[in-house]
């Protein structure tokens, strides 16, 4: 298959922009299906592709550049994947099938995948320029150094990332204020009961939590900041936020394929430009579908890779799943699409061991909420839901 080197522009059967879960999974899938194809993977970051989900879990301890690499360096050469590290694509020429990179390199592609991830959604308020976000390992290293010289931090956003950032800041010994619009912690994932338990845990660990607060503006006062919301002013040294994401618009807007919240594609992950696909957090999905999840990026990367190699797979709404372990307490939430609190459910225990609730539809487990057990237990729950086990039998593994 074609790969012309030696001249400035190289030609590849497949080029993938963005080397995290979606891009790398697509590359693996392409390599399995097209053993002879030439594949270029362009990694915009300054280290080997890594597990992004670890950033909010290792903020307090810190990490080395290769601590959570997805593959070691040898994997790329062993699999004949051309990896361009620390290289950003600046422009895509859809007519010439060419891309132009920040270091001056250019490449011609047969089929292209844009897996450039997300950018943090910034709340449109005065003072938003003072807010810091955490998206890459490099951001996290800079932020960590700043946090080490701070005393007080405000974290805006009570979703899973906000919760994890607040926990890590507290572990660093900071005075932490977790605030935002939501009326409870991790409300997308947890029911009232578990949000309440998580709140008690956070309070007992000394995190200050305030809810239903729309931050109206942020002001800089000398070397500190004031975070204003109705009925509350927080005075802090640093303001962090995790208030949602948008698909990365950078390359897609110029190509005219950006929708409202991400790259527009069909369910084969093909954009309206022939031979250009998109996958992962970059993509705009139908309302109500998951986004911003590691396993979802993996699923899309695999589907895009299959379709680029000539198959015709379609993405569907898949079960959502979240695991997190703030202050050492394990939380797990999983649901098939369309499950809600109105489905038949049983709380199997809510005591010192923790909490287990399983939802059932037509005799099959369709969702579970769990607190306090282990990661291995969550795997049993996940398998049971995939297999559609009756709730009673699934719960019997834990009672
Ligand atoms: C701090 C944090 C914690 C998270 N925790 C969890 C969790 O606990 N559980 C969970 O399920 N999900 C979690 N997520 C979400 C999960 O990490 C993402 O859904 C997943 O990483 C998406 O993968 P992706 O490949 O689509 O995009 P990304 O991981 O965003 O990767 C996109 C890559 O493309 C690169 N790129 C962008 N533009 C260019 C360009 N022009 N040229 C070259 N490269 C470019 C970026 O630098 C980046 O490396 C977390 C996310 C963050 C930020």
Query: Average pLDDT, stretch 47-74?
Result: 97
Q: Which CATH number fits domain 9-119+245-308: 3.30.930.10, 1.10.1760.20, 3.30.360.10, 3.50.50.60?
A: 3.50.50.60
Query: Average pLDDT, stretch 129-157?
Result: 97
Return d(Cα 137, Cα 86) in angstroms, integer: 13
Residues of the chain with CATH 3.50.50.60: 9-119+245-308, 122-241
- Reply yes or no on whether the pLDDT at 68 is more than 60: yes
* Neighbouring C-beta atoms of residue 344, cutoff 10 Å: 12
- Reply yes or no on whether the pLDDT at 7 is more than 70: no
Residue 125 tokens read as: 């308020």
Q: How far is the CA of 331 from the centre of ligand 1 (A)?
A: 22
Per mean pLDDT, which range of 171-185, 331-345, 367-381 is the poorest? 331-345
**Predicted confidence (pLDDT) per residue in 319-334, tens digit:** 999 999 999 999 999 9
- Reply yes or no on whether the pLDDT at 2 is more than 90: no
Q: How far is the CA of 144 from the centre of ligand 1 (A)?
A: 19
CATH class of 122-241: alpha beta
- Reply yes or no on whether the pLDDT at 108 is more than 70: yes
Confidence of residue 6 (pLDDT cuts 50, 70, 90): very low
Give me the helices (H) in the chain, please.
21-33, 73-78, 137-148, 160-171, 192-204, 250-255, 294-308, 375-387, 391-396
In 3D, which of 273, 312, 242 has the Cα closest to residue 59?
242
Mutate to test the pocket of ligand 1, among 28, 41, 52 (most ligand atoms within 8 A of CB): 52
Query: Average pLDDT, stretch 132-144?
Result: 96
**Predicted confidence (pLDDT) per residue in 163-204, tens digit:** 999 999 999 999 999 999 999 999 999 999 999 999 999 999
Return d(Cα 16, Cα 25) in angstroms, integer: 10
Mutate to test the pocket of ligand 1, among 18, 137, 330 (most ligand atoms within 8 A of CB): 18
Query: Average pLDDT, stretch 238-257?
Result: 97
- Reply yes or no on whether the pLDDT at 227 is more than 80: yes
Confidence of residue 1 (pLDDT cuts 50, 70, 90): low
- Reply yes or no on whether the pLDDT at 232 is more than 80: yes
- Reply yes or no on whether the pLDDT at 74 is more than 50: yes
Take atom 53 of ligand 1 and give the residue whose Cα is closest. 135
DSSP 389: -
Return d(Cα 85, Cα 267) in angstroms, integer: 30
The atom of ligand 1 lying closest to the CA of 300 is: 26
Percent of the chain with pLDDT over 70: 98
Return d(Cα 94, Cα 336) in angstroms, integer: 38
Residues of the chain with CATH 3.30.390.30: 330-396
Take atom 28 of ligand 1 and give the residue whose Cα is closest. 117
- Burial, 35: exposed, middle or buried (Cβ in 10 Å; 0-12, 13-18, 19+)? exposed
- Burial, 110: exposed, middle or buried (Cβ in 10 Å; 0-12, 13-18, 19+)? middle
Confidence of residue 228 (pLDDT cuts 50, 70, 90): very high
Does residue 55's CB lie within 6 angstroms of at least one atom of ligand 1? yes
Q: What pLDDT is stored for residue 9 in this prediction? A: 81
Mutate to test the pocket of ligand 1, among 86, 101, 117, 280 (most ligand atoms within 8 A of CB): 117
- Architecture of the domain defined by 330-396: 2-Layer Sandwich (3.30)
Strand partners, 200: none
Q: How far is the CA of 118 from the centre of ligand 1 (A)?
A: 6
Query: Average pLDDT, stretch 38-65?
Result: 97
Q: What pLDDT is stored for residue 86 in this prediction? A: 97
Q: What pLDDT is stored for residue 215 in this prediction? A: 97
**Predicted confidence (pLDDT) per residue in 282-311, tens digit:** 999 988 888 899 999 999 999 999 999 999
Percent of the chain with pLDDT over 90: 94
**Predicted confidence (pLDDT) per residue in 17-35, tens digit:** 999 999 999 999 999 999 9
Q: What pLDDT is stored for residue 3 in this prediction? A: 52
**Predicted confidence (pLDDT) per residue in 258-291, tens digit:** 999 999 999 999 999 999 999 999 999 988 888 8
User: What ipTM, to 2 d.p.?
Assistant: 0.99
């Amino acid at each position: 298959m074609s790969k012309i080197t030696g001249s400035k522009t190289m030609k590849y059967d497949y080029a993938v922009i963005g080397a995290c879960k979606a891009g790398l999974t697509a590359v693996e899938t392409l390599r399995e299906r097209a053993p002879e194809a030439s594949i270029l993977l362009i990694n915009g970051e300054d280290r080997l592709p890594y597990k992004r989900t670890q950033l909010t879990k290792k903020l307090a301890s810190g990490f080395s550049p290769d601590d959570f690499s997805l593959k070691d360096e040898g994997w790329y050469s062993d699999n004949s994947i051309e990896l361009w590290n620390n290289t950003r694509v600046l422009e895509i020429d859809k007519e010439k099938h060419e891309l132009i990179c920040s270091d001056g390199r250019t490449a011609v592609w047969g089929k292209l995948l844009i897996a450039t991830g997300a950018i943090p959604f910034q709340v449109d308020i005065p003072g938003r320029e003072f807010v810091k976000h955490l998206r890459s390992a490099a951001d996290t290293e800079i932020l960590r150094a700043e946090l080490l010289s701070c005393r007080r931090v405000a974290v805006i956003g009570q979703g899973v990332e906000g919760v994890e950032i607040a926990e890590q800041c507290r572990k660093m010994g900071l005075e932490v204020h977790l605030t935002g619009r939501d009326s409870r912690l991790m409300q997308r994932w947890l029911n009232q009961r578990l949000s309440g338990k998580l709140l008690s845990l956070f309070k007992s660990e000394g995190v200050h939590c305030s809810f239903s607060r729309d931050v109206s503006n942020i002001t800089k006062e000398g070397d500190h900041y004031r975070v204003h919301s109705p009925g509350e002013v927080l005075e802090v040294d640093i303001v962090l936020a995790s208030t949602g994401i948008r698909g990365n618009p950078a390359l897609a807007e110029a190509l005219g394929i950006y929708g409202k919240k991400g790259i527009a594609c069909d369910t084969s992950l093909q954009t309206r430009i022939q031979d250009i696909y998109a996958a992962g957090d970059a993509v705009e999905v139908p309302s109500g579908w998951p986004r911003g999840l590691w396993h979802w990026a993996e699923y899309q990367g695999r589907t895009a890779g299959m379709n680029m190699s000539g198959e015709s797979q379609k993405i569907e709404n898949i079960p959502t799943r979240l695991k997190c372990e703030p202050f050492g307490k394990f939380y797990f939430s999983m649901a098939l699409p369309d499950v809600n609190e109105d489905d038949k459910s049983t709380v199997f225990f809510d005591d010192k061991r923790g909490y287990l609730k399983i939802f059932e539809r037509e005799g099959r487990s369709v969702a579970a909420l769990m607190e306090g057990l282990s990661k291995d237990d969550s795997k049993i729950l996940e398998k049971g839901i995939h297999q559609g086990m009756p709730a009673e039998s699934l719960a019997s593994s834990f009672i």
